[in-house]
């Protein structure tokens, strides 16, 4: 028999308004929406709680945190993936693009060791076995400043469901790492580098970046097309970066670091992604442009949890207060990222869409998740 379910007496956050009503689910999809506070027989009475669409996460480093919770402390992949998956489910993320770095460096320690293909294979196996609570796709973060980028990208095929490829350039002095003092703080704090070790790393990676940048950028664009993936940039800093992005077919900009870059993205029709930690903390931890300032200027389209999954929901409510428009804010974590990656069947409460939903109550100004469903199954 086809399963049916109804969530009634709920404030439904639709794409353009919030209505008191009921959500009717048949099978794995939303069948209908009715307005009013009636609670049909057998329905779940939500008591006026909010029902949001399941959130869509495009860029999270959370899996890497589970794979290597401390520097050089590597854990078995399968339990790490399962822990990551469970954490996402608990935060209302029902679709995730797991960010895996492609491109390795072997000469300066193991911080850039190869891992993407092995981990992707394990994610796909767990998904096929029905062991995962949320929907997993692959996001390949193509590291330009590496030795093995193109070889690693070639290991993936269309069957791997790579939905997103982002071009990153972490060459010291470039983009996110333009400020060498900030980069030095990162390496000395996380990896205990000495001054001499850091200076050697800067020289080696600058030399490597200059040697491979053009070939790796062109190769990544070609590989994204072969995989049928959306192409994103990462840490655009100048208008010239954005002009280059548009010329090679990039449609998403992850974490532009300056107002200049964000304004150029808007002018070029490139959607702007900012991080939830930046938004919730009130600023960037690395001194880059404030996500809230971009939001106030109308230069924010999508929010990513980045490295803290629990902050994605909080960021939506922070934006809802900032804009005085909760549906618009919720779109930044649901419909907008879904549309940007061609997933028209999710990210919204609408008849015919997947029954991915989050029940939320408010504790003063803090949203508290009460339940999460994926395809009508409570996860």
Domain extent at residue 204: 55-344
Segment 270-278 mean pLDDT? 97
Q: Are residues 259 and 281 in the same domain?
A: yes
- Tell me the DSSP string of 205-251: HHHHHHHHHHHHHHHHHHHHHHHT-EEEEE---SHHHHHHHHHTT--
Q: What is the CATH number of the domain that holds 248?
A: 3.20.20.140
Q: Are residues 205 and 102 in the same domain?
A: yes
Q: Are residues 339 and 352 in the same domain?
A: no
User: What distance in Å separates the CA atoms of residue 30 and residue 11, rounded to the nearest whole number?
Assistant: 16
Q: Residue 132, Cα to own-chain centre: how many angstroms?
A: 18
How high is the pLDDT of residue 350? Answer: 98
Report whether pLDDT(105) > 50.
yes
CA dihedral 352, 123, 144, 192 (to 10 degrees): 130
Q: Are residues 4 and 34 in the same domain?
A: yes
Report whether pLDDT(378) > 90.
yes
Site of tokens 């922070």 = 318
Q: Are residues 44 and 100 in the same domain?
A: no
Q: Are residues 27 and 117 in the same domain?
A: no
User: What distance in Å separates the CA atoms of residue 63 and residue 11, rounded to the nearest whole number?
Assistant: 33
pTM score: 0.91
Q: Are residues 377 and 237 in the same domain?
A: no
How high is the pLDDT of residue 110? Answer: 42
How high is the pLDDT of residue 178? Answer: 65
Cβ proximity of 261 and 196 under 8 Å: no
User: What distance in Å separates the CA atoms of residue 271 and residue 269, rounded to the nearest whole number?
Assistant: 6
Q: Are residues 163 and 250 in the same domain?
A: yes
User: What distance in Å separates the CA atoms of residue 178 and residue 228, rounded to the nearest whole number?
Assistant: 31
Cβ proximity of 309 and 91 under 8 Å: yes
Q: Are residues 30 and 86 in the same domain?
A: no
* Angle of the 259-268 helix axis to the 239-247 helix axis, nearest 10: 30
- Domains in the chain, number: 2
Q: Are residues 138 and 257 in the same domain?
A: yes
Tens of pLDDT along 315-362?
A: 999 999 999 999 999 999 999 999 999 999 999 999 999 999 999 999
Q: How confident is the model at residue 73 (pLDDT cuts 50, 70, 90)?
A: confident
Q: Are residues 297 and 210 in the same domain?
A: yes
Q: Residue 258, Cα to own-chain centre: how many angstroms?
A: 20
Report whether pLDDT(108) > 70.
no
Q: What is the CATH number of the domain that holds 48?
A: 2.30.40.10
Radius of gyration of the chain (CA): 21
Q: How confident is the model at residue 248 (pLDDT cuts 50, 70, 90)?
A: very high
Tens of pLDDT along 135-182?
A: 999 999 998 888 899 999 999 999 999 999 999 986 665 666 666 666
Structure tokens belonging to residue 19: 């209505």
Q: Are residues 264 and 157 in the same domain?
A: yes
Segment 212-240 mean pLDDT? 94
């Amino acid at each position: 028999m086809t399963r049916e379910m109804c969530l009634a007496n709920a404030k439904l956050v639709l794409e353009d308004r919030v209505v008191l009503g009921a959500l009717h689910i048949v099978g794995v999809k939303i069948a209908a929406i009715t307005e009013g506070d009636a609670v049909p027989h057998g329905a779940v009475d939500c008591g006026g709680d909010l029902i949001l669409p399941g959130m869509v996460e495009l860029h999270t480093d959370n899996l890497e945190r589970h794979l290597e919770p401390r520097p050089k402390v590597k854990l078995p992949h399968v339990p790490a993936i399962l822990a990551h998956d469970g954490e996402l489910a608990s935060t209302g993320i029902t679709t995730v693009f797991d960010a895996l770095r492609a491109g390795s460096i072997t000469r300066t320690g193991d911080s850039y060791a190869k891992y993407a293909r092995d981990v992707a294979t394990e994610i796909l196996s767990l998904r096929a076995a029905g062991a995962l609570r949320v929907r997993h796709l692959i996001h390949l973060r193509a590291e330009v400043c590496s030795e093995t980028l193109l070889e690693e990208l070639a290991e993936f095929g269309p069957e791997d469901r790579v939905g997103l490829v982002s071009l990153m350039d972490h060459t010291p002095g470039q983009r996110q790492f333009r400020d060498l003092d900030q980069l030095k703080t990162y390496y000395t704090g996380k990896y205990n580098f000495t001054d001499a070790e850091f200076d050697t790393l800067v020289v080696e990676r600058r030399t490597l970046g200059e040697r491979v940048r053009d070939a790796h950028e062109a190769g990544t664009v070609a590989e994204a097309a072969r995989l049928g993936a959306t192409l994103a940039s990462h840490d655009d800093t100048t208008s010239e970066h954005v002009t280059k992005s548009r010329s090679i077919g990039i449609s998403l900009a992850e974490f532009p670091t300056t107002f200049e870059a964000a304004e150029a993205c808007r002018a070029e029709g490139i959607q702007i992604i900012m991080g939830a930690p930046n938004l919730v903390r009130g600023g960037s931890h690395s001194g880059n442009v404030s996500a809230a300032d971009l939001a106030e200027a109308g230069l924010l389209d999508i929010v990513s949890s980045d490295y803290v999954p629990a902050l994605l929901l909080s960021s939506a409510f922070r934006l809802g207060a900032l804009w005085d428009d909760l549906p618009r804010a919720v779109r930044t974590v649901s419909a907008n990222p879904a549309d940007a990656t061609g997933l028209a069947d999710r990210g919204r409460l609408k008849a015919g869409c997947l029954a991915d939903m989050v029940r939320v109550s408010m504790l003063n100004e803090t949203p508290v998740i009460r339940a999460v469903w994926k395809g009508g199954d409570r996860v």
